[in-house]
Amino acid sequence: MEVLKAWKQATQFSANEDWIFASPVQIGRLPWSYNQVYRVYQKAATKASLGGFGTHTLRHTYRSWLDAVGTTIAVQQKLMRHADIRTTMNTYGDVVTDEMQQAHAKVVGLALGKAN
């Protein structure tokens, strides 16, 4: 996370709506190519002794975070570039742990007759 924060401060495309790895060649309108991101990511994973840690893992986290901030499933599908919404719904993401705990606490409160 520290490296991403440092990148955010150093890049010329640092607005919240900009791509994390905006392509300077495309004047920030598109992200870097997958191959560029993958090479940098693998170098960082190796340096951190994570081995074959792939970028695909980030897609699951991204979907979870989209869910956590209340993004509609249709927008999630488009952001993740899935042709079929079932891929977005059934394959990617999971409820963020804090949300699971909060939901569980509310259900327990209902069962025990306590207001939350």
Give tens-digit pLDDT for 74-88: 999 999 989 999 998
Q: What is the pLDDT of residue 78?
A: 93
Give the dihedral sign, CA 24/26/28/32.
Answer: negative
Q: What is the pLDDT of residue 40?
A: 82
Indicate the pLDDT class of residue 97, thresholds 50, 70 and 90. low
In a shared domain, residues 89 and 45: no
Long-range pairs of 112-115 with CB within 8 A, sequence gap ≥ 24: none
Parent domain of 59: 55-116
For residue 17, pLDDT beyond 80 = yes
In a shared domain, residues 104 and 60: yes
CA proximity to 1, closest of 48, 33, 56: 48
Query: Rounded CA gap, 100 and 91, in Å?
Result: 18
For residue 34, pLDDT beyond 90 = no
In the block, tokens 């190519």 appear at 33
What's the whole-number mean pLDDT along residues 50-62? 79
CA atoms within 13 A of residue 104's CA, in its CB half-sphere: 7
In a shared domain, residues 61 and 116: yes
Q: What is the pLDDT of residue 76?
A: 93
53, 70, 91 - which closes a domain: 53
